[in-house]
Amino acid sequence: MRSVSFTVEATAGEARAGTLELARGTVQTPVYMPVGTQGAIRTLSPLHLADTGTQILLANTYHLSQRPGADLVAKHGGLHGFMQVDKPILTDSGGFQVFSLDKEVTEDGVTFQYEVDGKKTFLSPEVSMDIQQKLGADIAMVFDECLAYGTEKHYAEDSVNRTARWEARCKVAHTREDQSLFGIVQGGFWPDLRKQSAEQIQEIGFDGYAIGGLSVGEGHSLMCEVLDMVLPHMQKQSPRYLMGVGRPLDLVEGVARGVDMFDCVIQTRHARSGTLYTSQGRIRVTDKRYRHDMYPIDASCSCYTCRTFTRAYLNHLFRVGEVLGATLCTIHNIAWFHQFMGNMRQSIIDGTFEDYRKWVHEVYPDGSPADPEGKHEKQKRARSNNKRRGGRKRR
């Protein structure tokens, strides 16, 4: 082990309340990690971040390696100096970002075109480790191949073995002693491949273990099935991280099965469209009904936004196009999810986790849209396209 220590303090079935000790701070689990893809949580300054209760955040290896480049980040003393954040940071390997692009996968690594400018780019275990060590996050992730939903099993079989070889190369290439390295379990949606991958990756040996290849369009029920496939084969003494998952229902069901760490972009993405999470369910503060609403977003939330502003004010900010609206809503969503996870942790300690789990199912049931503003944006684009074609509005 390098600079990480993990202790389980309480359990409720498979659910765990733990403590993760890192060089730059202590993280109480289960924990949600907000995502700062480009080296910043969009619309949020580090001063705002301090008020949200964030314990650890995530940044993206792939994007930062392209712009501004790992060498420039290293000149700032790594991501902590570059971002001016004094909390633990985790960097993903770049594998998830390239899996949906046109690419060529070989034993050496992956060749693809950077989507911003078409620049030919190559990522390999050694390249990813070099970048992440320059970025200097507290936790680095191995380079793996994320399998798309619907991948044929014969390809998945080859991919699982290749990913194991890539991860072994990552361990050899990773030499930074003040940075932990987490392995990633793949295997698609087949129990035998998930078991095989878990055994292969744990045999290599890492400081923690992630479950990859989910949140790729499979839906909540199948996600839970995969967790049931793989978690019994993952050691309990190490932290477990479910990558790219963050809806309330997904979080509580992940925790119920023994997951400790999560990350997702929906909290910040939804906030920028005025979609907010509350103890009564999700609301869209841009709706007309909130124009004269003098209540906070959520009376049970202690974040800066809820302590200070009304729904009517937030509605006004969005109507006039003021970016402060996105900032205040982002503060709320991140803070709300930290409180949500903190309350979940306390329920494990208190022995009331099953009651908490039931409440989540009642307030955030499966089948609710995961990306409500996505539908809204599609409707806007359709109207815009209709106008360009000379179409008329329906009366």
> Letter for the amino acid at 283?
I
Between the alpha carbon of residue 277 and those of residues 74, 332, 337, 339, 369, the distances in Å are 36, 8, 8, 11, 13
Omega of the bond leading into 68 within 30 degrees of 0 (cis): yes
92 classed as catalytic: yes
CB atoms within 10 A of CB 79: 25
What is the SS3 string spanning 102-133?
A: CEEECCCCEEEECCCCCCEEEECHHHHHHHHH
Annotate 184-197 with DSSP letters as a single string. Answer: EE--TT-HHHHHHH
C-beta neighbour count of 289 within 10 angstroms: 11
CA geometry: angle 109, 67, 96, nearest 5 deg: 40
List phi, psi (to 5°) of 264: -165, 155
Rounded CA separation 338/53 (Å): 6
Question: What 3-state class would DSSP assign to 27?
Answer: strand
For residue 18, give Cα distances in angstroms to 80, 183, 276, 343. 25, 19, 28, 13
| Identified catalytic residue from 102, 263, 366, 371 | 263
Angstrom distance (rounded) from CA 211 to CA 232: 12
**Active-site residue identified among 92, 207, 250, 298:** 92
| Residue 392: DSSP 8-state | -
Question: What are the structure tokens assigned to 361, written together?
Answer: 């199912």
Phi, psi angle pair for 260, to nearest 5°: -110, -30
CB count in 10 Å sphere of residue 352: 14
Q: Which residues are catalytic?
A: 92, 263
